[in-house]
Structure formats: C-alpha cells, structure tokens
Structure 1
Amino acid sequence: MDIEIPFLIAFVFLALLLRLIRSYITSSRTKPSPALRLPPGPWQLPLIGSLHHLLLSRFSDLPHWALREMSGTYGPLMMLRFGSVPTLVVSSAEAAREVMRTHDLAFCNRHLGVTLETISCGGKDIICSPYNAHWRELRKLCMLEIFSQRRVLSFRPVREAEDIFSAGSETSSTVLVWAMSELVKNPQVMYKAQSEVRETFKGQDKITEDDPVKLRYLQLVIKET
C-alpha cells in the first residue's frame, strides 16, 4: 500500500506532463492567422516559454537588466512567453508612447489567471473588468460615491490612522521597495533624505497627509525611482 501511493502520484504527474506537451505541440503546429503580426522575440521552450532566457542571463538576479540586454538584440518591442502567458515587453520611450497613448485601448485589459478570475467573479469588478460599458459605469460610481472630494475628506481620519487603501497599496509599496533599495546603494543620498526628514519634523509627534509636501528632496528621490 505504501508503494502504490507514490506510484499513483508519479503516474498522474506524468500523464499531466504528457498532456501539456501534447497540447503545446498541437498548438505550435496550428498555422497562425496571416493578419497576426507579432513582434520578434527569443526562441521558446515547452511549458516555461521564455523564462530560461532570464534565468540563464548574466543579469539573472536583475530581470529588468536582462530584458534590457535582450532588447538590444530583438528591438524595443519583444514578444516573450512567461509560462503560458504571452507578454509584450516595451523598452523605449517611443514604443511606450505608442502602447500607452496611441493604442491604449488595445492594451488596457488585464490578463486574468485562474486566481484573479475566481476572486473577481469572472472579471466583473473594477480592477479586473475589461474596458467596456460595465467598467465605465463602475468608474462613474466610484468617482461619484467613493472618490469625490467630499468622500475623500470624510475618510481622512481613517487614512491617517491606518495612511493606506488596499486597492492602491501595491503600486505604493513597489515604489517604496525600489526607493529603499536605491537609497541603500547610495548612502550619501540616503543620509541627505534622512536629514531632511529629521530636520523638517523635528519635535513633531504626528505626521498628517499635508506634511510630505514639505519634503522636497525626498519627493525628487521618489520621482527618480
């Protein structure tokens, strides 16, 4: 009985692996649509796609440097595949302007994995919903009922007690992590930022939403990040 269970697990895993490989081979043999013109990109492997190019790069610990190095070979627009997810990598200001301004409607939808699709009830909330009439109605309700000036001011005591919104915390935390990383690498800049904070709020027990405006140098650090 003890031998049968590991054997069964190994058999199920092997069957799933063979099925994935078979589906990949079948999809790769399917002729692409002649109207589909994809950007260039490195060669891919089954299941993992382009991940091995990042892991085997000399900048494997810095993925954004590895992507920049690849963009020197394949251009400012690259098509990679991280696992089963096709990913467009934009590496120049001109290409970013085309994606974010000229053709923003074509790129504004969020990819829904299994987890996000389950949490968002099939992409029906404002974060995961595709750009359509439903999303515009949700945005209108949020602007009128949640993010109006009156509502924002009424929530100010709560923000100061807790100075976070769960829906908007990811971007802020990411910027904070990068800013702290760069400050650690540049001790002189970190010392100057710390001195500004200590001098500006010297003797002050509580910091309000209006106080960070006084930190001119720290704002430059954040913008640079």
Structure 2
Amino acid sequence: MDDRYYVYLGLALVSLLVVLARRRRGPAAGHGLRFPPGPWQLPVIGSMHHLVGQLPHRAMRDLARRHGPVMLLRIGEVPTLVISSREAAREVMKTQDTSFASRPLSATVRVLTNNGRDIIFAPYGEHWRQLRKLAITELLSTRRVLSFRAIREEEVAAMLRACAAAAAESLPVEMRARLSALVADATVRAVMGDRCRDRDVFLRELDRSIGLSAGFNPADLWPSSRLVGQLSGAVRRAEECRDTVFGILDGIIKEHLQRMDSAGAGAGEAGEDLLDVLLKIHKDGSLQIPLDMDVLKAVIFDIFGAGSETSATTLEWAMAELIRNPKAMQRATAEVREAFGARGAVAEHVLSELRYLHLVIRETFRLHTPLPLLLPRQSQEPCRVLGYDVPAGTTVLVNVWALGRDGRYWPGDPEEFRPERFEAEASAVEFKGADFELLPFGAGRRMCPGMSFGLANVELALASLLFHFDWEAPGVSDPAEFDMTEAFGITARRKANLLLRPILRVPLPAGV
C-alpha cells in the first residue's frame, strides 16, 4: 500500500470528525486500577495521529521507547495493548497464555472467516481446539509435510528452469513474482493435488484478503458506528473476496468428491492432498463438532494465506539481504556448493547439513519477521501484565519486529544483517516459540501450526537458487545502498520489486 493510503486515511478521519456523533470512551481510570501508559489521545481517532506517516510497527516501536514496553493505545475506538519487550511477551504468550488465547474479530475478518470459523481467527474455545488438533495431527504434521517433498522439488525445478532461461539471455528476473509463484504452486498442489485452473484469480483474491485483514479499515476502527460501516467499502470488498474464493473452492471440492466416490473405500493415503484429508474427516462425521463445508473452506483459505504469503516474503527478504551483504552471500553460496557439488543438485533430505544457510534464515526472521505485529490477541478477562491492569476485551499486539531489533537482546548493531551472531552470543536463540526475543511464528497456544510447512518451502528454494546461480542487482554499484524499504500491510513485504540477474554457475541436471 502506497502513500495514497495515508491521504485516504487523513480524509477519512476528517470526515469522521465531522459526521460521527457518537464517541466511545476507552477504559476509565480510577477504581484503584493502574492502566498502562501511552501517548495523548484525541477524540474519535484516539492515538491514530501518532501512527500516521510511518509503518505501524515502526511507529509503535518509537512510541514504546518513550512510554514503555507495555503501552496502551486507542486506535480509533479499539483499546490496544502494545507489547515491546521480551518479558512482557512472555507474560502474554506463556505465563498468562490462556487469558490472551482468543483473537478479536474485526468487521472485515468476521466476513472473511465466516464469523471466525477458521483456525487462525477462531475465538478460543472447543471449535478452535478441535481445528488446532486437526491441523497439528493431520494436516501439517512432520509426516504430512515430508509427503509433499516431490511437489516441492518439482516446483523448485520449474523455478530454476525459468531462471536459467533468463540467465541464457542475460535478463533480470523479478524475484517477487517468481518466488510467489513458486510457493503458491507448491501450496496449491499440496492442498488440492493439482494446479488450480483459477489460480490467478484465487491468488489475487487471497492478496486482497490479506490487505483487508490488516485492521486499519474504518469499519474495523469504529465498530460501534453503523454509519462508518455503511460508508466503508471494506466489508463489501471482503464479502466479494470471500464469495469469489469460496466459489472457486466449491468447484474444486465437487471434483474431489466425485473422484473419491469413483476410487471407492479402498483408496489409500498415497498421493493424498490436504483437501482429501479434510473431506474424509467431513464424510466420517466422527468429530465432536462436525466439520461442515463452510469450516472446511475457511481452513483451506487459512492454509493458503498463512503458508504462501509468509514463505514468499521470507524468501524475498533473504535474497535481498544476501545481495546487500556480499560476504554473507559468498559464505552461504560456498557452503551449498560444497555440500551438493558432487550431486549436481540440492537434495532436500540433507538440507540439515547446511548450518550457515539456516543461520541466514534465522537472521532473516529476526530482521524481517513476516508478521511484524503477529496476529492480534484479545484479553478474555481482566488481568495484569508487568504490574499494569489490562481490561477484558483489549486487543493485544506483540511487536516482534521491535523485539528482533532491540539492542538489549541483540548486542552490536541490531539493524545489521549478520548471520554469524547466532554462532556467538545468541547461538542458543531459536525461533520456535521458546525464546521471546525471536518470534516469527508466535508462541503459546496461538503459535502458527504451519511452521514446518513454511520452512520446507523456504529452505529448498533458497539453497537451490544459491547452488545453481550467482546473483547481482542490475544498476546497483554499492550493495549497501540497495533499497530495503518495507511496504504497508499485515505482512512486511519489500516495497520495491526485487529485480536480480542470475548467472548460471552449476548447470541444471538433465530432466530438471
């Protein structure tokens, strides 16, 4: 989203100040309660004027430096607790995880998820527990992710062929589009078993839904005002997006059901995709809460949204940082070529041997966590965080982008891309939810269940790109000046396209 967003936001706020007759007060002080500090607020818009002009995670980091790691904002009329320290994050995501295990449903998210009937945004309760268990044990388990290895290898091979063709003509490759296509096609095949005829429409609507989920639509910021809801087109656009995606899924589900009926009861798990798994569970009817078709489609939508967008964004930032840091690029490339030179191609089952490549990925997560504010949580009951009172119903944002760049946890220059830091002072810090200064997948009950699924796409693709090609940025004489500006959105993409020229160094094996 470009600067037009801020113009639109400013106009919307001015209009609201004129036409909005109803004001909603935030949590009242007094009664012996100690509320978190925060910046001064204005009527109607609350703290929003402190965020205009910067990306939200950056503005919130700067505000937290003045007001503290537990900070209360009012974004529109929504009371919002912003967490910006390791200790506070541990309180919210571990010590009091149950109290903060639910998610708020904004107006647009409510539409996109059929009132929170998916996994990601489902309110904390039996429905969510059942879907979470289903995701961990059936859909995104290590065994299931391994079963899709051939799909990943085929899709990476297709990407390598496209890069080799560009290299033969000395042409640059627009890496965002190429990486997004790679991850999307691998995800489509894992979920649906084959490429989707309406893939481009599906992915376009998925991209729209991610933008609508960011929470900065007027209908989301002033949920109590019917007038704002009527004036805002976000809810209508969310309905159009949902109906288009679910319509495409209806056709795909019908084809799967016909194929399953033709195959009969003797069909095994060989070649089984995630939609097959869900349809079997749906037909079996053994779950405590039945898995109806609306829930099934919402779960599929979740897997695409969480699996494809974050993996492609991570790959794009990793390549950009390696271009910007030639020494890291040289070391990572040398490691991959030494490990797989005799084979002539990268083999997924031995990727664990690439120690430095995994440090590159970890450092990319630290500096460019795909969801800089994670997904919002909501306090289910009154509680206290580091001595401050948090009312029930408060939206909670954990600024993991700020945690990853906090000098208290990352000695030296925390803004510097330096994978070697994990070989020394921070070597024990991992990103799997136990270390609260590095939380790309979150932690606790609402931690992302698709971590293994996403990592598998990132590791194989990145290793293969470095093994076969050298890379350069056309027109960039000084790598330190390479543009690393972020774009606005629920995910922190690069703002500019990533245009790189591949130079083939290790020929593709026959048949690739």
Given that residues 17 and 44 in structure 2 are in contact (C-alpha distance below 8 angstroms), is that contact kept between their aligned partners in structure 1? no
Q: Equivalent of 2:40, from 40, 43, 50?
A: 43
Q: TM-score, normalised by structure 1?
A: 0.71
Deviation at 1:47, TM superposition (A): 5.2
Relative distance call for 1:145 and 1:31 in structure 2 (3 A) is closer
Shift of 1:178: 4.2
- For residues 48 and 157 of structure 1, do their structure 2 counterparts lie closer, same or farther at Cα, with a shift above 3 Å needed? farther
Q: Distance in 2 between matches of 1:115 and 1:186?
A: 40
**Residue type of the alignment partner of 2:41:** Q
CA distance in 2, matches of 1:217, 1:64: 29
Q: C-alpha distance in 2, partners of 1:174/1:188?
A: 22
Counterpart contact for 2:45–2:76, Cα < 8 Å: yes
C-alpha change, 1:149 and 1:218, in structure 2 (3 Å) is closer
> What are the ranges of 5 or more consecutive residues in structure 1 without an aligned counterpart?
1-12
Aligned partner letter, 1:18: V
1:108 paired residue number: 101
Counterparts in 2 of 1:215 and 1:49: CA distance versus 1, 3 Å: farther
Distance 1:14 1:85, change over 3 A: closer
How many angstroms apart in 2 are the aligned matches of 1:124 and 1:102?
Answer: 27
Match of 1:155 among 148, 156, 179: 148
1:52-131 matches, within 5 Å, as 52-55=49-52, 60=54, 64-131=57-124
Aligned residue in 1 for 2:242: none
Displacement of 1:158 after TM fit?
Answer: 3.0
Equivalences, count: 206
Residue 216 of structure 1, aligned match among 355, 359, 364: 355
Partners of 1:223 and 1:55 in 2: how far apart?
31
Who is 2:493 aligned against?
Answer: none
Q: Deviations over 1:48-83 (max 9, x none)?
A: 443432445xxx46x545433322221111122444
Alignment deviations for residues 183-208 of structure 1 (CA, whole Å, 9 cap, x no partner): 34433223322333344343756544
Change (3 A) 1:205 1:27: same
Residue number in structure 2 paired with 1:7: none
Q: CA deviation at 1:121?
A: 0.8
Q: What is aligned with 1:5? A: none
Which ranges of structure 2 fall in alignment gaps of 5 or more residues? Answer: 1-12, 156-182, 188-303, 367-512
Coordinate RMSD, CA, aligned:
3.4
TM-score (norm 2): 0.35
Q: Is the 8 A contact 2:72 2:81 kept in 1?
A: yes
Q: Distance in 2 between the 1:95 and 1:172 partners?
A: 27
Going from structure 1 to structure 2, the CA distance change for 1:118 and 1:36 (only over 3 Å counts) comes to farther
Which of the pair is proportionally richer in helix? 1
Distance 1:173 1:81 in 2: 32
* Secondary structure of the corresponding residue to residue 81 of structure 2: strand
